[in-house]
Amino acid sequence: MLPFFWIYFCYLTFSLTAEPTKLDQFIDQRMERRAGLPIRLPCLAEHDSDLNIHYVWTINGKKLDQIEAESGHFRVLEDNTLEVERPTQEDSGVYTCVASTKLDSTSKSVTVVIEDVPPPVKSARILECNQTDPLVTITFDHLEPEDRTKPVEEFWLRYSVDQGKWHVYPVPVKTFQHEVIGDDSLRQVNGRLSIMLKPFGMYAFQLIARNAIGDSAAYNIDGVCQTAQKAPSRNPSGVRVDSTHPHNLIVYWDAMARDEWNGEKFAYKISYRRKDENGPWKELVVVDPFADKFTIDLGRNGTRPGDPYEVQVQAMNGKGLSTSPEVVEGRTSFTRYKVSVEGIHWLGPPFNVSDFDQITVIGRLLITKPRRPELYWVIPVLLLLLLCAVTAFCVIYRRRKNPVAETERLHGQEPMLPKERHFEEFGKGEGTNRSLVGPGSKNAGLASTNPLQLIAESTPQQ
């Protein structure tokens, strides 16, 4: 008889009680931030104190590598907050924080959208350069993800002439006219533009993509477009005529920019003639292309103050002259004389102010045009100007209402020149003119043999 075998099973049951791991969800499930501004994503879980907890950050499902976390662009702080120091549009995505213990795990996520300027244009080239028209045609391609919150809106062309400063062509290329959405969820823009250039220039080009945030980095297009030379298309503006002397004319104009020269040997041709004679034009050339004025020496034969002249300023280069310029009128200047006083003395006995019809005190007499100066009684007075702490020479003169006969003046009865008889030679010609005048009154002759000496010097008008 076979013995009986019994199999016994022992079951041990126990339970472990622990607090569940909890994470506060992000208040907003979508976060939009401007590029360059730091973002911080907190991740601090509530968990059982008897259990160790471990945190892991993922971006679009991929773990944030330790090297990336320590690179400075991404940084995980001591409280497990993820910090992105200078985010770009490439950092947009779903950020997830996972907190786990040996018993459980939890997570929270947020969609981060970084609003940034567009990426640079993918490619661009010069399709055609017509040197004689002159016209240039440029084609370009641009790619970006379809889901960009701030997609590219337009493209701007920049150009420089002879390696000078960059200028922006004023008409952009609109994106919606050339965009295509591909099967790979990429937004593709294939654009083309043609612009007119100016003659005599070596043009280089850049292309910039622009969205609501700003401009992309400039894409430098390979190659240059060299345009042919032509005669200038316009003349300088702002032409005016001035003068500082009866023998000269000063012509002013606005200098033309380099991209308007249109050719080598750029210069300005000035034509002038006296208006009332309608004679032939006299011409001269200003070879400095940066000049904006020129003084014409009219010579000293036949020129008079206030003569009217007609003047033209015309642009020219090695290929010829510009269009016919406008005629600007101007006049020669009057000579300005400065009259100074020398040899002032206090002459004779005290005078009676009531003897004079008019008394004016001056320190210097300026005659603004060549004419016969009207000299009257001049009495020297030396005044100490206490307020200004300077000494001034003053001339006291008067204007007679009723002229007297010259015979009385010659016999000493009246030292005053009549209005009808002025010093005919005073103020004429160049150099220094002198006149001697002594003090006196209605009832007396010259009181001293020490006369007042007036000197008139011709000075150019300022």
Same domain for 249 and 200 = no
Same domain for 149 and 66 = no
Domain assignment present for 422? yes
pLDDT-based confidence at 448, cuts 50/70/90?
very low
pLDDT-based confidence at 141, cuts 50/70/90?
very high
254 and 247 in contact (C-beta within 8 Å)? Answer: no
Same domain for 344 and 319 = no
Tell me the whole-structure pTM to 2 decimals.
Answer: 0.57
Last residue of a domain, which of 61, 88, 115? 115
Q: State residue 432's pLDDT score.
A: 44
Total tally of structural domains belonging to the chain: 4
Say which range, 45-49, 181-185, 348-352, has the weakest mean pLDDT: 348-352
Domain assignment present for 40? yes
- Convert 158-184 to b/e letters by CB count within 10 Å (16 or more is b): bbbbeeeeeeeeeeebebeebbeeeee
Q: Is the pLDDT at 456 greater than 60, yes or no?
A: no
pLDDT-based confidence at 164, cuts 50/70/90?
confident
The residue with tokens 């700003």 is 214
Domain assignment present for 99? yes
Q: State residue 66's pLDDT score.
A: 61
pLDDT-based confidence at 453, cuts 50/70/90?
very low
CA end-to-end span of the chain: 149
Domain assignment present for 313? yes
Last residue of a domain, which of 331, 359, 374? 331
Q: Is the pLDDT at 452 greater than 70, yes or no?
A: no
Average per-residue pLDDT for the chain:
76
The 10s digit of each residue's pLDDT in 283-331 is: 999 999 999 999 999 987 777 888 999 999 999 999 999 999 999 999 9
Following DSSP, what letter does each residue of 143-168 receive, concatenated?
A: EEETT-SS---EEEEEEEETT---EE
pLDDT-based confidence at 153, cuts 50/70/90?
very high
Domain assignment present for 13? no
Contacts of 132 (CB under 8 A, 6+ apart): 228
Same domain for 356 and 455 = yes
Same domain for 170 and 189 = yes
Same domain for 266 and 205 = no
pLDDT-based confidence at 184, cuts 50/70/90?
confident
CB atoms within 10 A of CB 261: 22
163 and 220 in contact (C-beta within 8 Å)? Answer: no
CATH of the domain at 275: 2.60.40.10
331 and 365 in contact (C-beta within 8 Å)? Answer: no
Domain assignment present for 445? yes
Same domain for 401 and 352 = yes
Domain that holds residue 352: 337-459
The dihedral built from the CA positions of residue 389, 392, 396 and 397, taken in this order, carries a sign that is negative
Domain assignment present for 20? no
Domain assignment present for 428? yes
Q: Residue 174 and residue 178: Cα distance in Å, rounded?
A: 8
Q: Residue 244 and residue 218: Cα distance in Å, rounded?
A: 52
The phi-psi region of residue 298 (left if phi > 0; otherwise alpha if psi is between -120 and 50; otherwise beta) is: alpha
Same domain for 342 and 327 = no
Say which range, 66-80, 137-151, 300-314, 411-425, has the weakest mean pLDDT: 411-425
Last residue of a domain, which of 90, 115, 140? 115
